[in-house]
Amino acid sequence: MFFLTSRHVKQGRQFVKDARKLVAYKRDVWSEAKVVDVEKHIDSLEAAVREKDEARIADQASKLDAVLAGHVPVHADGWIRENVEVFLVAIVVALGVRTYFLQPFTIPTGSMQPTLNGIVFHPTKEPAPNLLVRALQVPIFGRHYVDQVAKENGEQITDYRPVKSPLPFVPKVPGFGGFFDRTEIVVRGPSGNERSFVVKEALETVDSQFAREARGKIYQAGEVIMRGYFDAGDHVFVDKISYHFRRPWRGETFVFSTANIPLISPPGKPSQYYIKRLAGLPEDTLRVDPPQLFVNGKLAEGKGFERVMSGTRENPHDGYRGYGNGAERKNYDQTVYVDKMMNLSSPSATFTVPEHEYFAMGDNSYNSYDSRGWGTVPERNIMGRALMVYWPFWPHFGLAK
């Protein structure tokens, strides 16, 4: 029985097994004489193992080890090769998981709030807290602070420009969203002196959260130009497997590409990824009578819809204000604003979803550029469903709602 076998016999058998694997691996690069020499020593060790002679096994194992050492010299940089190999394998595995199983995605705007948070700038009157508090707030809230004050009378912001990633050819790192996104804000005084400061957010975010209100404003010495903090948008893992085995379900939060949707990504322009709630399946007929959404003549069913419809525009409930027929300019942070929606623009308007298309709506209906404004999502554009929020650790960490 195996567990009664002597230790020296087990070790001898394992050495024989490993040596034969090495010969198989090196056979095409070794000369025939080398192969014969090594196989002869392997056979001698194997014979000693069969006889279970401990002294002979030790002797033959030592001789085989010396022969192999001569044919497979140790390289001084072997440790570097091994670590590079492990690193490359890890990258391949990570890319495989990202391509076929889980895709990281960062929520950029507030269209899904309060279900999922976009990147939000909170202006404050007080300076940033001490370094320890700020360090603790990074993993919990994904928070970072900005504090810039005018240095002379008449200063004005003259330019906003993106800062290139510190890594060559890598604008974004998989799994880190916009980790390396930076925006340089240029300030010029009446004397012509120019200075700049950097905000750790993408240009689009700075533009929607801060720049629109700051354009054209003139600051006096000591006046706050920008003081407050940015909270990171929720980072979500997208399940790319489920939709290979079933159709998307109404009410799910899903991610899709904007390719082939002309009002978002015109021909020749790069596509993006959006995240919304799936409000309508193919052939569904929709209607919005604020704050309610109706599907095929009935009130939309499901916990996600119920949460959104629990409040109204005037009386929100836990941040939810219901569904609307349009958007409002107050706190609007989308890249495109439309005064009048193309679809469901009045309580009496209806829309029937075409075959192989899906209707997407944001939970923050009055701050969402969605299928009401740009049309339906082609079936082939769907990437997957939102699975879980993996960062920051508050308030939405866990399975996506």
| Secondary structure (H, E, C), 239-262 | ECCHHHCCCCCCCCEEEEECCCCC
Q: Domain 2-71: which topology?
A: Substrate Binding Domain Of Dnak; Chain:A; Domain 2 (1.20.1270)
Q: What is the mean pLDDT of residues 243-250?
A: 94
Tell me the range of 94-103, 256-265, 275-284, 320-329 where mean pLDDT is highest. Answer: 275-284
DSSP assignments along 328-394, one per residue: -STT---SS--SS-SSS-STT-EEEPPTTEEEEE-SSGGG--SHHHH-PEEGGGEEEEEEEEEESSS
Domain ranges for the chain: 2-71, 119-231, 235-399
pLDDT of residue 210: 78
The DSSP output letter for 192 is -
Q: What is the pLDDT of residues 212-241, one digit of tens each?
A: 777 778 999 999 999 999 888 899 999 999
- Provide the 8-state DSSP code for 178: T
pLDDT at 67: 85
User: Which pLDDT score is estimated for 15?
Assistant: 87
Torsion, Cα of 364, 367, 373, 377 (10° steps)? -40
Task: Please say if the pLDDT value at position 202 is more than 90.
Answer: no
Q: How far apart are CA 343 and CA 368, in angstroms?
A: 13
For residue 129, give the DSSP letter.
Answer: -
What are the tens digits of pLDDT across the range 43-98? 998 998 888 888 888 888 888 888 888 777 665 566 676 677 677 777 777 666 66
Cβ pair 364, 111 in contact under 8 A: yes
How many angstroms separate the CA atoms of 354 and 349, rounded?
A: 16
The average pLDDT across 323-328 equals: 92
CB 359 within 8 A of CB 376: yes
Cβ atoms 209, 117 nearer than 8 A: no
Q: Which residues, listed in sequence order, are joined to residue 148 by a DSSP beta bridge?
A: 226
At 49, the amino acid letter reads: V
**pLDDT exceeds 60 at position 172:** no
> Is the Cβ–Cβ distance between 325 and 294 less than 8 Å?
no
What pLDDT was estimated at residue 388?
A: 95
Q: What is the pLDDT of residue 177?
A: 45
**Which of 68-72, 145-149, 393-397 is predicted with the least confidence, judged by mean pLDDT?**
68-72
How many Å apart are CA 38 and CA 16, to the nearest integer? 11
45 within 8 A of 12, measured Cβ to Cβ = yes
Whole-model pTM: value is: 0.71
Q: Which of the pair, 181 or 309, is modelled with greater confidence? A: 309
Q: Give the fold, CATH level 3, of 235-399.
A: Umud Fragment, subunit A (2.10.109)
Question: How much of the chain exceeds pLDDT 70, in percent?
Answer: 91
pLDDT of 283 > 70? The answer is yes
Largest CA distance in the chain: 96
Specify whether the CB–CB gap between 285 and 296 falls below 8 A.
Answer: yes
Q: How far apart are CA 112 and CA 120, in angstroms?
A: 12
Q: Are 111 and 213 in contact (CB under 8 A)?
A: no
Q: What is the pLDDT of residues 107-137, one digit of tens each?
A: 888 899 999 998 888 899 888 999 999 999 9
Strand 224-231 vs strand 143-149: parallel, antiparallel, or unpaired? Answer: antiparallel
Mean pLDDT, residues 374-385 = 96
Of the candidates 209, 291, 284, 204, the one whose C-alpha atom is nearest the C-alpha of residue 250 is: 284
Q: Tell me how far apart the alpha carbons of residues 279 and 344 are, in angstroms, rounded to a whole number.
A: 12
Whether pLDDT at 209 is above 80: no
Average pLDDT for 349-375: 96
DSSP 63-76: HHHHHHHHHSPPPT
Distances (CA, A) of 87 to 76, 90, 91: 19, 5, 6
- The tens digit of pLDDT for each residue in 302-319 reads 999 999 999 999 999 999
pLDDT at 180: 67
Q: Mean pLDDT over all residues of the chain?
A: 86
**The token pair that represents 130 in the structure block:** 């001490």
Which pLDDT belongs to residue 76? 59
pLDDT of residue 38 exceeding 50 = yes
Helix orientation angle between 32-51 and 7-26, rounded to the nearest 10 degrees: 160
- Three-state secondary structure along 206-242? HHHHHHHHHCCCEECCCCEEEEEEEECCCEEEEECCH
Tokens, residue 251: 């009410």
Residue 199 CA, chain-centre distance (Å), reads 20
